[in-house]
Amino acid sequence: MRICLIASSRFPVREPFHGGLEAHTAMLAENLIRRGHRVSVFAAPGSDPRLNVEELAVPTFEPSEVARRDVHAMPDVWMQEHHAYLSLMMELARTGKDRFDLIHNNSLHHLPIAMAGLVGLPMVSTLHTPPVPWLESALTISPGRTTFVAVSSHTAAAWGHAVQAEVVLNGVDTDRWRAGPGGTRAVWTGRVVPEKAPHMAIRAALEAGVSIDLAGPCQDEAYYIREIAPLLGPRVRYLGHLATDDLLELVGRAAVAVVSPAWDEPYGLVAAEALSCGTPVAAFRRGALAEIVADGTGSLAAPDDVSALAAAIDAARGADRGFVREHAVRHHSVDRMVTAYEAVYRRVTHGEVAA
């Protein structure tokens, strides 16, 4: 198939990945290409060219002094992204039918959905987030023009009032995220922001008597200074934003991976990555994490309860790493994910609906 894959205009699709959305886009594109599909990834400047990237034109926008006086004006970055996606969709309306068989919208922007009816191509959109106003509003402009896929049953249910979405669980490259030997320290990975709550992971690990390493991009410096920095020391290390090879080595050598969201995770890629390394997971029971952390692969705790998470850390460390790894390969592989997306593509290009 000839597939137009629309990605984020804000963060490049390249390692080290900014977050799960960029990692998902890269894995999907790479494996579709490997299976013989012709994929063009429309993504932020600086994305990995091996993915057949066509850079989204994200023009620098600086409003005039007169326009700056509008106190209700949208931020400059919002305008830049708006024009990037508007230009893309207008171009696809002109030339898309000659170049592609379908569009897979893997961005979080509203314009691909709102303008889907102008392009004349089947569109699949993956829901990576809980319902947000800008996406809900796009549905009212171009209803019925997009086939929706959710990254978990939890996310599909959250969107149930607005759209019916088929579930295709995210996947991880289980060949690359290989089995590790384990170790004595816990690990936390992800974006260092309040909604991921690494400070609760730290406190739970210390309460469980386990040292912990943290890795990931720091997106909220004030939060880091206030909540994380005072806890650092020999038992708590922040290792920065690691390259993927370094990250998987760290996770594979951990005794347990701690996942501590303060919000309902739409999926929880870091949990699946840990399981692929054979590293059991201790997590708050939020969002889709109950769909990832199955019996025998870790332990779930009541949300926001640090003592319960400490008990989950202690329980998870007893899991059989071989079983954990086997479960991940069977249920969370990128091959399973791509095969499921191929089935969706075949249906939409033939005008069929999901059973």
Domain boundaries, the chain: 2-171+334-349, 186-331
For the chain, list residues with pLDDT below 50: 354-355
pLDDT the model gives residue 16: 87
The answer to whether 124 and 146 are in contact (CB under 8 A) is: yes
The answer to whether 193 and 216 are in contact (CB under 8 A) is: no
| Per-residue DSSP letter, 75 | P
pLDDT the model gives residue 226: 98
Q: Retrieve residue 217's tokens.
A: 């991009």
Task: Report how far residue 325's alpha carbon sits from residue 270's, in angstroms, rounded to the nearest whole number.
Answer: 14
Of 295, 304, 217, 205, give the one whose Cα is nearest residue 255.
205
Over residues 107-130, the pLDDT tens digits come to 999 999 999 999 999 999 999 999
* Residue for token pair 């390493």: 213
- Beta strand residue intervals within 45-137, DSSP E: 53-55, 102-105, 123-127
Q: Evaluate whether the domain defined by 186-331 bears CATH number 3.90.550.10.
A: no
Question: Does this chain's domain 2-171+334-349 share its CATH topology with 186-331?
Answer: yes
pLDDT the model gives residue 279: 98
Burial 90-127 (b: 16+ CB within 10 A, else e): eebeeebeeebbbbbbbbbbbbbbbbbeebebbbbbbb
Which residues lie across from 212 on neighbouring strands?
Answer: 186, 236
199: Cβ–Cβ under 8 A, 6 or more apart, which residues?
227, 228, 231
pLDDT the model gives residue 355: 42
Helix (H) or strand (E) holding 148: strand 146-150
Q: What is the pTM of this model?
A: 0.89
Name the fold adopted by 2-171+334-349: Rossmann fold (3.40.50)
Task: Report how far residue 37's alpha carbon sits from residue 336's, in angstroms, rounded to the nearest whole number.
Answer: 16
Task: Report how far residue 55's alpha carbon sits from residue 223's, in angstroms, rounded to the nearest whole number.
Answer: 32
What rounded mean pLDDT belongs to the chain?
93
Task: Report how far residue 77's alpha carbon sits from residue 43's, in angstroms, rounded to the nearest whole number.
Answer: 16
- The DSSP line for 35-61 is TT-EEEEEE-TT--GGG-EEE------
Over residues 197-254, the pLDDT tens digits come to 999 999 999 999 999 999 999 999 999 999 999 999 999 999 999 999 999 999 999 9
104: Cβ–Cβ under 8 A, 6 or more apart, which residues?
3, 4, 5, 6, 28, 123, 124, 125, 126, 341, 345
